[in-house]
Structure formats: C-alpha cells, structure tokens
Amino acid sequence: MNDSDTDSASAIKVAIYGPGAMGLHITRLLRERGVRIVAAITRPGSEKVGEDLGTLAGLAPLGVPVRSDAKETLEETEPDIVAVAVSTYLDEVMYEIYATVVRAGANVITLAEEMLYPVPTAGPRAEQLDELARRHGVTVTGTGHQDAYWVNLVSLLVGSAQTLHTVEGELSWNVDDFGPAVAKQQQVGQTVGEFNSWLANATRKPTFGRTSLYALAAAIGLTPKQPETRTTPVIATKTTPCQALGEDIAAGRVLGYTDTDTLHTEEGIELIISSTGKVYDAGESDFNEWRTTGRPALHLRNDHVITPDTTCTTLVNRLSDVIRAEPGIVTVDRLPQLRYHATLGSASPR
Ligand SMILES: NC(=O)c1ccc[n+]([C@@H]2O[C@H](COP(=O)([O-])OP(=O)(O)OC[C@H]3O[C@@H](n4cnc5c(N)ncnc54)[C@H](OP(=O)(O)O)[C@@H]3O)[C@@H](O)[C@H]2O)c1
C-alpha cells in the first residue's frame, strides 16, 4: 500500500504515544486498515527517539520519526486522535501525557486499564482531566480488551435476561506472554508462606477487574455500592517450566494468582470477575467465560482468545466512536455498541 492509497482510504490522522509492544501493534493494524499515522511520541531519553515508526513496527519506513517533544510534535502534525499505550494508572505522569494531547486539541484513545472507568479509583485527577477535555472540545476514552470482552459482550448477553441476580466472569492470562518483571509481580516460584506474607503487606492498586466492573455496571444501568477484592494463589501440582523466569517451578510453589473482584449494586445484582495470571501448562490458553444467575441462566465462553490482538483491534474499531463522541472523559458505556468498522471513516465533526 502506498501513501496515496492510505490517504484516500481514511481521512483520520492518528498519532501513536508510546511505541512499545502495543503501540507498534496498533501501528501495524492501522496501516493494514489504511489509516494515516502522522506522529509517534515517546519519553525523552528513549533509544527509540529518531527511529522511524514503520521500521520499529517491522514495516516499510513511514516517514514518521519517533520524537520526544510531545507538545511541538502534536502542534506540527495536528492528529485528530492520539492512541496512548504507555501505562495503566492515571498518575501524575499519565495525567500530563493526556493533558498535553488535550491541550493540542486532539482526542485521546488509550489502552490504560484505569481509564476504562477512571472516576471511582482516580477521583479528582479524572475529574480534572474531564474538565480540561470539555474545555478543549475533545474526548478522552479508555478501551482495549476489556471494552469488548468484559463490558460490551456481557451487557449484550444480559440483554436477554428476564431477571438477574449475579453476573460472574472468569478469565485467564499467561505470565509467559510477558517478561520476568510480570512473573515476579505475579509471585511466580514463591512458597505459599512467602505469598501469604507478600499479600498481607502489599499495597496494591485497584485491579483491572474492579475498573471493568464499574464500566459493566454503568453499561447495564446499575448503581455501584462497595467493591471487594480477594486474592488467592495458584499452586503448581507438578513441576512446571516458566519461560519468563527461565526456570522450573516445583510442585507446591506459586504459579501466579487469582484476583476475584465483586461489585455490589443498589439493585441487589452482584457483579464478579475472577482474573487469573499464572504460568500456563501445555495446552492452556487465554479464555473469557461469563455466567449469570436469574431467569434464564446465561452462559458465554470464548476460548483461545489472542488477548494482545483483541486489545489493539478493539482500539482501532473505536477510533471513529471516540472522535464523534461528546467532549470530556467518555467511558465505553456511553459510546455506541462496539462493532467492526469495514471502513474507518473520517474525522468528521461531532
Ligand atoms: N486494556 C488492555 O487490554 C491492555 C492490554 C495490554 C496493555 N495495555 C496497556 O498498554 C500499556 C503499554 O503496554 P506495552 O506492552 O506496549 O508496554 P511497553 O512495551 O513497555 O510500551 C510502553 C511504551 O511507552 C513508552 N513510555 C514509557 N514512559 C513514557 C513516557 N513517560 N512518555 C512517553 N512514552 C513513554 C515506552 O518507551 P521506551 O520503550 O523507550 O521505554 C514504550 O515505548 C500497558 O502499561 C497497559 O497500560 C492495556
């Protein structure tokens, strides 16, 4: 595909903020869908500064150098929307990243998990960002795998219920899809005693499951009450090789853990999600499974989900929804039903 084909296929101009594993995957998907990428931004000091985004993504050069001067880059290239894939929580660094994009007059679409439904956990900072985005007339939305598999599919499923008591999801991801830092964070290789002592002393941030349950509650029209998180280790029943650590985990040691989040609601319906991150045994793969109690009881299971793909394809299919949404932080429950877009449309006015 040459540049003129690309330009005619879509008028949307996108920038990539955070050219890591996800940002580069988004780059490849956008090129495949004919979307024009006008800029790439990373942190000052990154060894990627000056590299061509296409080359980094394993494509032909795009003529888009990775830059670290975010404000100037955005002013010069004027993207309609910036895909941000840097980190999870709305901390000071991430606030500044989103604010820089917003002040440049561009919409933000991000994979940051907390941004799926940021107000309950990120409070004042989320409200400040919402106000800033409204003032600049642009939208900020968090999407990704959860938008598709933990919110949209589930709200569609319960649309066929007459009565609903519980909505319970179970999902799993493989520690070996990531590096040693994630394996250590999942306590892989620890004894049960070491795990329990870590859990007793750890100050953990809100789980991805909790944020997703807030988004799901909003999508179903429920009023959240208190959330709870329970964490349990997954113990190896036989020696299991861990690629991320390059070592075998002996039987009786920790392979990872499960966070089970529950969100009680004013309506009396309980939303639950159990997310397991562990070292997989041969033959295991990612899955999402949802069950409801009530009438009728409902069941939905997706096997062999390729989570890194569905994360990024969901973002790509959300571009025009975000561009067309009202200004402010607009969570996915306030966007149209997620769908495939055969053409990715144009950056037409809201
Ligand atoms: N919602 C979902 O389903 C989902 C799934 C996967 C990931 N995610 C999110 O996506 C994020 C990125 O994941 P990843 O696997 O792509 O991580 P990654 O490979 O570490 O990529 C992060 C990128 O951000 C850059 N960066 C770091 N700090 C920065 C800063 N202050 N300003 C600008 N750029 C900065 C890094 O630059 P250097 O390479 O130079 O350090 C790197 O290019 C995760 O943290 C997570 O929040 C979401």
Please tell me the residue having the least CA distance from ligand 1 atom 8: 111
CA 41 to chain CA centroid, Å, is 19
For the cut 60, the answer to whether the pLDDT of residue 84 exceeds it is yes
- Paired strand residues for 193: none
What mean pLDDT comes out for the span 237-263?
97
Q: Which atom of ligand 1 is nearest to the CA of 178?
A: 15
What is the residue-averaged pLDDT of the chain? Answer: 94
Q: What is the pLDDT of residues 107-136, one digit of tens each?
A: 999 999 999 999 999 999 999 999 999 999
Rounded percentage of the chain residues whose pLDDT exceeds 90: 90
Q: Rounded CA gap, 108 and 140, in Å?
A: 5
What is the per-residue pLDDT for 343? 87
Which amino acid is residue 229, in one-letter code? T
Q: What is the pLDDT of residues 85-109, one digit of tens each?
A: 999 999 999 999 999 999 999 999 9
What is the per-residue pLDDT for 348? 52
For a mutational test of ligand 1's pocket, the pick from 90, 111, 143, i.e. the residue with the most ligand atoms closer than 8 A to its C-beta, is 111
What's the gap in Å between 38 CA and the centre of ligand 1? 19
Ordered structural domains, the chain, with CATH = 3-144+309-334 (3.40.50.720), 161-297 (3.30.360)
For the cut 70, the answer to whether the pLDDT of residue 8 exceeds it is no
For the cut 90, the answer to whether the pLDDT of residue 40 exceeds it is yes
Question: Do you find a cis peptide bond into 65, omega within 30 degrees of 0?
Answer: no
By DSSP bridging, strand 299-302 and strand 287-295 are antiparallel
Residue recorded with tokens 């495939």: 340
Q: Which atom of ligand 1 is nearest to the CA of 116?
A: 1
What's the gap in Å between 158 CA and the centre of ligand 1? 33
